[in-house]
Amino acid sequence: MRHDVTKTDNPLIKKLAANETALCLAVRLLRLPHVAHMAKAAGFEAIYYDMEHSALSAEDCSRLCIAAWDIGVTPLVRVPSKDAHGISAALDGGAAGVIVPHVDTAAEARAIAEAALFPPLGKRSVAGSGVGLGYAALAPADAYAKLNERTLVIAMVESEEGIANADAIAATPGIDMLLIGTNDLCAELGIHGQLDHPKVRAAYDAAAKACNTHGCTLGIGGIKSGAMLADLHKMGARFLLGRTDEALLLAGAKDEAKSLRQLFA
């Protein structure tokens, strides 16, 4: 990884740099800061707020990111697109990193890294200390170096083109992680829902080799099979997305309804 863990205060970066597995809870519905506390109580190191597939606003995400920082859970935001303004706005709002969907080429990877990082590493617009540093009074050079050090730039690879370019994407300066969006990848490959298909395993193998070569983290999204997760962990995957809050709520509600009805069967 490009980070100096002696300087960063991002606990997720420290965990990944130590080659430890980190779990991330995905949030689409809940808009109260309680969700970060529940994520920590459940044993998640990180939480990501999904602006791509929900009605969460920038204001929602900012408020939730601040709450997560306060209790030591690393807050990430999946932005809706590769738009540079959306990336910098999420980070200005308090995110410790951005998850950028549908990154297919090294040029796209370079553009998102430049949008997320301040000069000399990128081209992100300077906005002052702000919420990302708790409004600390730091010299500009120190402030932006610190923000660069604590920011994770995560490229989602979700297409056949993206997998073909995995090595070049992982080699892009500023990219910290390749996160495989397995469901979208299956859709692109014409194998909807076949998460353990040989083509999916081959895609993960290619991404793992790229990450191991260039010092990136390999992230997993969408895989629920314990056997496949174990295989991917052996390949080097260390970042795992759990189910979304809506999926967990629905599953829990179904179990509760079933158990209650059994009382009256």
Give the active site residues.
53
- Contact in structure between 25 and 42 (CB atoms under 8 Å): yes
- Contact in structure between 80 and 110 (CB atoms under 8 Å): no
- Contact in structure between 182 and 200 (CB atoms under 8 Å): yes
Token duo for residue 47 = 């939480």
Query: What one-character-per-residue DSSP string does 100-162 give?
Result: E----SHHHHHHHHHHHS-TTT--PPP--S-GGGTT----HHHHHHHHHHH-EEEEEE-SHHH
Residues 6+ away with beta carbon under 8 Å from 119 = 144
